[in-house]
Amino acid sequence: MTASDPTLPPAIECTSLVRIYRTDNLEVQALQGLDLHVAQGELIALVGASGSGKSTLLGILAGLDAPSAGSVRVDGRELAGLGPRERMLYRRRSVGFVWQSPPRNLLPQLTALQNVALPQRYNGVGRAARRARALELLDSMDVAHCRDRTPGRLSGGEQQRVAIAVALANSPTLLLADEPTGELDAESAHIVMAALREANTAHGVTTLIVTHDEEVAGQVRRTVAIRDGRTATETHRDEPASGAADAQADGEGATRPRRADVEYAVVDRTGRVQLPPEFTEPLGIRNLVRLTREPGHIEVWPEREAQQEPEPAKPEEDEA
Ligand SMILES: Nc1ncnc2c1ncn2[C@@H]1O[C@H](COP(=O)(O)OP(=O)(O)OP(=O)(O)O)[C@@H](O)[C@H]1O
C-alpha cells in the first residue's frame, strides 16, 4: 500500500448507500445503508456470501449504476448526481475495471497491444504515446511477450494480466476487479494477484477486489466483509501472505509465523453493529440483547441471560 496523503480526500467514501432494484411486483434491497471508507492507495478485498451486494457496490463505484439513496464519493467527487456525459467521462478516465471472465475484458479481434492502446484513443491520446504506454503497461504486467497475439492465443492468466493493463491504460485513480481470479487455476490466480498488487504499488492506484477466494483475500492487508447489503466486519493484517506460503523467512532462512489477523465488527454512523451468526447462534440470540458497560469494553448478553441480572464479579479471594 502506498502511504496515503492526509491532505487528499479519501479514495472512496460511501455513506448510507442504498440500492433498491424494483421489478414488476418485487423490490430487492441490494444495499441497505452501506458505509465504506477507503484511503488513497489502499488495496482491499471485498468478500461476502452470494447476493450480499458486492457486485452492486462495484457497479456503483464503476459509474455503471447509480444508488437509490445515500452518498458515494470517489476522490471527493459525488457520483450520485452525475449526468450521463459526466458519468461516461468518469468511467473513461477515473476507473479501470477487470471482470471475472477473461473474454469479457478484451476485444477478440485485437492484439494485446491494440487492446491496451484502444481506451487511450477514446481519451484523445496520440498514436505514438498510446503505443509507448501500452508497451510499458504490458511489460509491467509481465506480458510483453503477448503484445502481438490476440486473446484467443493467450492463457486465461495472460488474458487477465493484459486486462489489468487495459484497465490502467488511462491512468485511473480507482481499479476495480470483480472475481478476477474466479476462472483461473491456483498458479495463474497467484500470478494475476501479484499483477494486481503491482498495479496498486507501482502505479499507485487504489484497488478493490471482490473475491470468494480466501487465499486472494489473505494476500491483502484489509478485507471488508459485506452482509445483507452492509459492511459487517473487517479483517486487518499486519503482514499479508505472499500467496505461496503463510510463513515468512527471516534473515537467517528460518520461517516465522505471520502475526495474527485481527477481525473487527464495523460500527456505522448510527452506532449499529452486525453481530456475526457464529457469535449469536450458539447463544440463541435473535431479537434482543442487553448491553453492559464494563471498564474498557462492552458486554453483550442474550435476552434470557439478561433477564437474570448478571452477578457482579466477586473480588478474588486472597489465597494466602
Ligand atoms: N438487476 C437486478 N435486478 C433485480 N435484482 C438484482 C439485480 N442485480 C442484483 N439483484 C439482487 O440484489 C442482491 C445483491 O446482488 P449482487 O449481485 O450485488 O450480490 P453479490 O454479493 O455480488 O453476489 P454474487 O457473489 O453471487 O455475485 C441479490 O439479491 C440480487 O438478486
Q: Which helix (H) or strand (E) holds 127?
A: helix 127-140
Cβ contact 181:161 at 8 Å: no
Q: What are residue 134's phi and psi, to 5 degrees? A: -65, -45
Our mutation pick for probing the ligand 1 site, out of 28, 47, 65, 216, counting the most ligand atoms within 8 A of Cβ, is 28
Indicate whether residue 48 lines ligand 1 (CB < 6 A).
Answer: yes
Residue 298, CA distances (Å) to 235, 280, 295, 301 in order: 20, 16, 8, 10
In the chain, where are the structural domains located? 12-94+172-248+256-265, 277-307
Our mutation pick for probing the ligand 1 site, out of 24, 52, 209, counting the most ligand atoms within 8 A of Cβ, is 52
**What's the first-to-final CA gap in the chain, in angstroms?**
54
Separation between Cα atoms, residue 51 and residue 64, nearest integer Å: 18
Q: Report the separation in Å between the CA atom of 289 and the middle of ligand 1, taken as the mean of its atom positions.
A: 31
Separation between Cα atoms, residue 150 and residue 115, nearest integer Å: 9
Helix (H, G, I), strand (E, B), or coil: what is residue 159? helix
For the chain, helix, strand, coil in percent to 5 are: 30, 30, 40
What is the position in ligand 1's atom list of the atom closest to the CA of 56? 18
- Quick one: three-class SS letters along 167-219? HHCCCCCEEEEECCCCCCCHHHHHHHHHHHHHHHHHCCCEEEEECCCHHHHCC
What is the position in ligand 1's atom list of the atom closest to the CA of 26? 4
CATH of 12-94+172-248+256-265, one of 3.90.1150.10, 3.40.50.300, 3.40.430.10, 3.40.50.150: 3.40.50.300
Separation between Cα atoms, residue 138 and residue 195, nearest integer Å: 11
> What nine digits make up the cell of 199?
498495479
pLDDT of residue 103: 85
Q: Report the separation in Å between the CA atom of 7 and the middle of ligand 1, taken as the mean of its atom positions.
A: 36
Separation between Cα atoms, residue 18 and residue 24, nearest integer Å: 19
Indicate whether residue 55 lines ligand 1 (CB < 6 A).
Answer: yes
Indicate whether residue 100 lines ligand 1 (CB < 6 A).
Answer: no
Q: Report the separation in Å between the CA atom of 262 and the middle of ligand 1, taken as the mean of its atom positions.
A: 29
Helix (H, G, I), strand (E, B), or coil: what is residue 229? coil
- Rounded to two decimals, the ipTM of the complex is 0.96
Our mutation pick for probing the ligand 1 site, out of 21, 27, 36, 101, counting the most ligand atoms within 8 A of Cβ, is 21
Indicate whether residue 30 lines ligand 1 (CB < 6 A).
Answer: yes
Q: Which of the 8 DSSP states describes residue 274?
A: P
Per-residue pLDDT of the chain (320 residues; tens, 9 = 90+): 444 566 788 999 999 999 999 988 899 999 999 999 999 999 999 999 999 999 999 999 999 999 999 999 999 999 988 888 999 999 999 999 999 988 889 999 999 999 999 999 988 899 999 999 999 999 999 999 999 999 999 999 999 999 999 999 999 999 999 999 999 999 999 999 999 999 999 888 999 999 988 888 888 889 999 999 999 888 898 777 665 433 343 444 343 445 567 888 888 777 888 888 888 888 888 878 888 988 999 999 888 765 555 555 555 554 43
pLDDT of residue 256: 44
> What nine digits make up the cell of 205?
492506484
Task: Please tell me the residue having the least CA distance from ligand 1 atom 2.
Answer: 21
Indicate whether residue 54 lines ligand 1 (CB < 6 A).
Answer: yes
Indicate whether residue 50 lines ligand 1 (CB < 6 A).
Answer: yes
Helix (H, G, I), strand (E, B), or coil: what is residue 143? coil
Task: Please tell me the residue having the least CA distance from ligand 1 atom 4.
Answer: 21
Helix orientation angle between 112-122 and 127-140, rounded to the nearest 10 degrees: 130
CA angle 261, 263, 264 (to 5 degrees): 145
> What nine digits make up the cell of 20?
433498491
C-beta neighbour count of 219 within 10 angstroms? 24
pTM of the predicted protein model: 0.82
Q: Report the separation in Å between the CA atom of 47 and the middle of ligand 1, taken as the mean of its atom positions.
A: 14
**Tens-place pLDDT, residues 220-251:** 889 999 999 999 888 898 777 665 433 343 44
Separation between Cα atoms, residue 60 and residue 80, nearest integer Å: 9
Helix orientation angle between 156-168 and 112-122, rounded to the nearest 10 degrees: 20
Indicate whether residue 47 lines ligand 1 (CB < 6 A).
Answer: no
Q: Report the separation in Å between the CA atom of 83 and the middle of ligand 1, taken as the mean of its atom positions.
A: 24
Task: Please tell me the residue having the least CA distance from ligand 1 atom 12.
Answer: 30
Q: Report the separation in Å between the CA atom of 53 and the middle of ligand 1, taken as the mean of its atom positions.
A: 6
Q: Which helix (H) or strand (E) holds 113?
A: helix 112-122
